[in-house]
Structure 1
Amino acid sequence: MEDLLLLIHRIPYPPNKGDKIRSYHLLKHLAQSYRVHLATFVDDPDDWQHVARVEALCASSHFAKLHPLRARVRSLGALFGNRSLSLDYYRDASTKQWVDQAVQKHKIARVLVFSSAMAQYADAYPGMRRVVDFCDVDSDKWRQYAEQKSWPMNMLYRHEAKQLLAYERRVARDYDAALFVSQPEADLFRQLAPESVDRIGHFNNGVDTEYFSPLPPSNSPYQPGEQAVVFTGAMDYWPNVDAVQWFANDIFPQLRARFPALHFYIVGARPSAPVTALGSLPGVTVTGTVPDVRPYILHADVAVAPLRIARGIQNKVLEAMAMASRVVVSPQALEGIDATPGTELILADGAPAFVAAVAELLETRNATIGPAARRRVETQYSWPSNLACIGEQLECS
């Protein structure tokens, strides 16, 4: 086996948690063909319990403790130096030292970088075969934030959008391949970085269809007699916060007026203060962290993804589809997912359309959409087939 350096911004475990899904399956896939030397950060105290599981997949590893508040404060210095805040956020001397020593000790000739901020640790090795999985066009996410926020945050977000895009373009230009999570993300970056068109590609996320399955059945977490609409996701992530605020305030009251037994469940870890406040609204429940999100998806009458800001592929949509749920999505949440609206899920653009779509599903209990969604995921979103291109990119000369 050859040695491979793998750089990931957050510990890639647990494998069913948000942005860790893709990185975990990457690590697991690469460990079958390479001796993997992993450098990553741990920014959640609860995640230290997963270190042993990740170490077992690696030939060597380095886990750097990251304090989110301290990192945010430290990254503000980038505002005065025309640098990306994201790079300063993840800049760490111990990680750089470990990477340099690992490269020298094991004579590593290949590196896979997961997320743009980690490329700073591979920039010093132009002689390596370097592949970056950007996942999303993060700079465009910051641009969207700037459009939604008022001063002074819009100024900060515009700075980050500009500086991070400049760095993303440099990485794509200098590296051997730049990959994204979907065709639309890759197409967008081709427009933003035309000098690197030939290096830009993508591979879709997958879904663990054995884990996210409608079988075996589980006990319902909902109260007898109530109808449930569910949203799942990390609830300290601003696009998710914006989505549930919009749904709870502008969409759900109209639905509850028609369906008095309807309840809106917001299921996800680390709910921010604005999300927690939604729990005081009639019929809205904010669960916080739950032991297992699957019963909430399986027993909901409708799963919703009303995102107005989004980049890349929404795992929450694929997971609900894999569980044969009836899913209503915004255009932003559907971006990058190859599914047929009206057959495998319902597309709703705007509050009136969301009200109409959810109401129709509650009234008709359409029995065909869920199984069709499950079939789509099984045939098109397999991790082994989608990850096959990684080895090809790493081995190209």
Structure 2
Amino acid sequence: MTGRFLPGGPTRAAPTEGSQLPRRMRVEPTPRPLRIAIVYSRSPLPMRRADQMTVANLISFLAARGHTVDLYALRTGGQITESHQSWLRDHCSQVRLFRHGRFRMALGMLQAVCTGRPLQVGIFRNGRQRQAVDRAARDGDYDIVYTYYLRSAEATRSIRQKRDGVSRRRPATFLAMQLSQSLNTRRILENASNVWTRTLYWYESRRVRQYETTVWRDFDRSVLIGQQDLDTINEECRRAGLPELDNVVFGAHGTDLDQFAVATADEVVPNRIVFSGVMRTPTNVQAVLWFAQKVWPTVRRAVPQAEFMIVGREPTGEVRALHGKDGITVTGTVPDPAVLIRSATVCINPMQAGGGMQNKLLEYLACAKPVVATTVANEGIGAPADCVAVTDDPAEFAQQTIRLLEDRAAQVRLGTAARSFVEEHWSWEGHFLRLERDFILALEELCGDEAAEDTLPPRRSRPGRSVA
């Protein structure tokens, strides 16, 4: 559905959806260049999802620091434009995209059912990708192999067991689990509204619990976003009588402080409430339905002129049905969600399920918006009370929303604190510098090298060929 696009006054020029490229990172060259393989379940461009945005920005960071990056990703459909290909060639030494169509996905899902693996692992399992990465790692091509998301673990989990005892050491391996899928699938199941969704997530939640508690042992480091994700996985390990994770490093996402900039006065539309996200994602659907059914009627009674905008591509039928009712607009695809976020008087994040962290919340805060959110929404970010109003009670959620719609001083106070919080804690550069440091520490440990602390990068691209 392509609905109305209501930017609400003069705006910055907006690119078309998916055309944005990661900006060049503001970092100095590293004193210790690494050879890094990134293994991923889809092309990072176009950046249509939060995970694509994270991987694309990681590549941008690593290239800016002077590391050599090879990308091993699946081509699952969708158009990659010439500008996307050019950007990847400029930032990666080698780009290998492996065809992975619907037949392979269906076969992988069937194999997952037969072997007891999570469906998401089966769907994205690709033998050619695994063989290519394994061969290069065995040949000593890399210092680091970085696997993004649990679903790609099968491509790299055997590397740690394979050693060439003669002359070549193996790379240090990282599994970026990011969020606990045990936590994520359980919450989706608890909030599922139909039999099909409940059945699917009942099956998947059982499988990811078993998989998550063991797969981490096949990697040198497991990357998680926050403590809640670690606590959940360790709880499942204890229940199963298995060792708890002892190789965790924390690696959150950042946000683009240039794209998600502070709104000018003429961009803001009075009494506009905005939710932004991909609207086919179950957690986002559950969030907006909860707000529309349990919170929005109270807000509209108190502020009859209020409007609620649901911003994001691919809305489901349940979400599309809200369009045009009681001041609700479902936009569908828009050129740049940041424009509509800046147009909001108040932004909301009423997530009921999910895990890890919420990029949309960071984007709201970066735009200096007053925000009302649930505990789940703020779990991975931990924004303080002077930045965001947090509540899980529908009546209180409504009252906080009404208060912020009507109180200009509170809008300014929360918005100013929100932008400062993101600038200090949530830049891409800050998080990736910490991840880079973890790369080097893992490599030093693997090599048995008692290198001095000053060999590590401070806490603060190579052009190449593309191989399809």
Which of 184, 187, 210 is 1:141 aligned to?
A: 184
Q: 1: distance between equivalents of 2:310 and 2:103?
A: 25
Amino acid aligned to 1:167: Y
> Secondary structure in 1 aligned to 2:319?
helix
- What does residue range 1-397 of structure 1 map to in structure 2 within 5 Å? 1-14=33-46, 17-31=49-63, 32-48=65-81, 50-67=84-101, 71=105, 74-103=108-137, 107-126=141-160, 127=163, 128-149=171-192, 151=195, 153-193=197-237, 195-214=243-262, 217=264, 220=267, 227-341=271-385, 343-365=386-408, 366=410, 367-395=412-440, 396=442, 397=445
- Kept in 2: contact 1:79–1:159 (CA 8 A): no
Distance (whole Å) between structure 1 residues aligned to residue 327 and residue 180 of structure 2 = 36
In the TM superposition, what is the alpha-carbon distance from 1:273 to its structure 2 partner? 1.6
For the pair shown, the structure with the greater C-alpha radius of gyration is 2
Amino acid of the residue matched to residue 206 of structure 1? G
User: How many angstroms apart in 2 are the aligned matches of 1:218 and 1:296?
Assistant: 14
TM-score by length of 2: 0.77
- Alpha-carbon distance in structure 2 between the residues aligned to 1:155 and 1:288: 28
User: What does the per-residue CA deviation read over 1:61-88, in whole Å, with 9 as the maximum and x for residues that have no partner?
Assistant: 1123444697257514422331221111
Confirm or deny: 8 A CA contact 1:110 1:129 kept in the other structure.
Answer: yes
Q: In structure 1, how many angstroms separate the alpha carbons of the residues matched to 2:382 and 2:158?
A: 38
What SS is found at the alignment partner of 2:295? helix
Offset at residue 382 of structure 1 (A): 2.1
Moved more, 73-82 or 173-182: 73-82
Task: Say whether the 8 Å CA contact 1:37–1:102 is kept in structure 2.
Answer: no
Distance (Å, rounded) in 1 between the aligned partners of 2:265 and 2:86: 30
Distance change (3 Å), C-alpha of 1:105 and 1:175: closer
Maintained 8 Å contact 1:263/1:283: yes
Task: Report SS of the residue matched to 2:97.
Answer: strand
| Aligned residue-pair number | 392
Give the match's secondary structure for 1:27. helix
Measure the CA separation in 2 of the matches of 1:388 and 1:334: 23
Once residues 374 and 153 of structure 2 are traced to their aligned partners in structure 1, the CA distance between those partners, rounded to angstroms, is: 32
- Distance, in Å, in 2 between the alignment partners of 1:2 and 1:282 is 55
Partners of 2:268 and 2:344 within 8 A in 1: no
Q: Which amino acid aligns with 1:157?
A: Y
CA separation of 1:107 and 1:294: change in aligned 2, threshold 3 A: closer
CA–CA distance in 2 between the matches of 1:58 and 1:143? 37
Change (3 A) 1:82 1:233: same
Unaligned runs of 5+ in 1: none
Report the Cα distance in structure 2 between the residues aligned to 1:71 and 1:48, rounded to whole angstroms: 23
Given that 2:286 and 2:352 are in contact with CA atoms closer than 8 Å, whether structure 1 keeps it comes out as: yes
Residues 278-336 of structure 1 show CA distances to partners (whole Å, capped at 9, x for unaligned) of: 11422111111111112211121110001100211111011110110011101110102
Q: Is the 8 A contact 1:230 1:296 kept in 2?
A: yes
- State the shift of 1:379 in Å: 0.9
Q: Which residue of 1 aligns with 2:462?
A: none
Which residue number corresponds to residue 17 of structure 2?
Answer: none
What CA deviation, in whole Å up to 9, does each residue of 1:200-252 have, x standing for no partner? 1212322221221115x496496xxx621000011110000011111122211
Q: Which amino acid aligns with 1:320?
A: Y
For the residues of structure 2 that align with 1:305 and 1:2, how far apart are their CA atoms?
A: 38
One-letter identity of the residue aligned with 1:38? L
CA distance 1:331–1:44, change in 2 (3 Å): farther
Q: Which moved more, 1:227-236 or 1:247-256?
A: 247-256
**How far 1:370 moved relative to its partner?**
0.2
Moved more, 365-374 or 65-74: 65-74
Shift of 1:51: 3.2
| Most deviating of 191-200 and 277-286 | 191-200
Residue type of the alignment partner of 2:35: D
Displacement after TM superposition at 1:188 (Å): 2.7
- Mapped partners of 2:413, 2:34: distance in 1: 48
In structure 2, what is the Cα distance between the partners aligned to 1:85 and 1:44? 19
- Letter paired with 1:259: V
CA distance in 2, matches of 1:65, 1:264: 40
Measure the CA separation in 2 of the matches of 1:110 and 1:204.
19
Secondary structure at 2:384 match in 1: coil
Q: Deviations over 1:171-202 (max 9, x none)?
A: 21121111111232233333334624321121
Which amino acid is the alignment partner of residue 13 of structure 1? L
Deviation at 1:147, TM superposition (A): 2.8
How far apart are residue 254 of structure 1 and its match? 1.9
In structure 1, how many angstroms separate the alpha carbons of the residues matched to 2:290 and 2:187?
17
Is the CA contact 1:344–1:373 (under 8 Å) kept in the aligned structure 2?
yes
Structure 1 residue identity aligned to 2:198: N
Q: Provide the alpha-carbon RMSD of the alignment.
A: 2.4
